[in-house]
Amino acid sequence: MQLQQSASKNKEALTTMLQLVTFELFEETFALPILDVREIIRMTDITPVPQAPDFVEGVINLRGQIIPVVDLRKRFGLSPAELSDDSRVIVVELNSHMAIGLIVDAVREVERLPADTIVPPPALVAGSIGSEYIKGISNHEDKMIIHIDMRKVFSVEELEVLEGGVAAE
């Protein structure tokens, strides 16, 4: 009996735990690795940028750094929602020299999940619009969480436009 308990504890110790920031978008729960998230801020004034892609709301000045702000609803091809008191901007680090703000409906909490609970998206989801952004899906406390790969949300060309637009500001 002790041997089984010890083996079970060892297996738990070997399971990689992920820390994820969960947020809501069109009444679904999404997650980003906490290491990708620099900070979460309340909605603030966003300065529009001429000729930016339609999903780019504009830029914000965050402690001296100009950061492009993207409406994730628009980026995923959905209609924009009215901003509410729960709306937030999640500032994510896409690489060592670029941060982007993501407008989401609400930020929920930081979750700790075992990495092995994330499964590939079902074929129905895998073939849908925006599926290239989805790393996987997990169930946690009776809710489905969609895991996003931020490095695939924007094409190389879009990132160049975002960086170029910000540099010109």
The pLDDT assigned to 100 comes to 95
Residue that wins the pLDDT comparison between 16 and 5: 16
30 pLDDT band, cuts 50/70/90, is very high
Q: Which helix (H) or strand (E) holds 33?
A: strand 28-33
What is the rounded CA–CA span in Å between residue 33 and residue 150?
Answer: 9
What is the rounded CA–CA span in Å between residue 163 and residue 90?
Answer: 18
Question: Average pLDDT in the 81-105 region?
Answer: 91
Domain boundaries, the chain: 17-168
Cβ atoms of 101 and 91 within 8 Å: the answer is yes
The pLDDT assigned to 127 comes to 46
40 pLDDT band, cuts 50/70/90, is very high
What is the rounded CA–CA span in Å between residue 86 and residue 105?
Answer: 6
- pLDDT tens digits, one per residue of 41-63: 999 999 999 888 889 999 999 99
| % of residues, the chain, pLDDT over 90 | 48
**Position 64 pLDDT exceeds 80:** yes
Confidence (pTM): 0.82
The pLDDT assigned to 123 comes to 67
Burial of residue 45, with CB atoms counted within 10 A of its CB: 0-12 exposed, 13-18 middle, 19 or more buried: exposed
- pLDDT tens digits, one per residue of 99-152: 999 999 999 999 999 999 999 887 665 445 456 788 899 988 888 999 998 888
What is the rounded CA–CA span in Å between residue 42 and residue 80?
Answer: 17
Domain 17-168 classified CATH 2.40.50.180?
yes
The pLDDT assigned to 57 comes to 94
Paired residues of 113 in beta bridges: 18
**Smallest Cα–Cα separation from 90: which of 17, 12, 144, 25?**
25
**Position 12 pLDDT exceeds 80:** no
**Smallest Cα–Cα separation from 20: which of 108, 131, 151?**
108
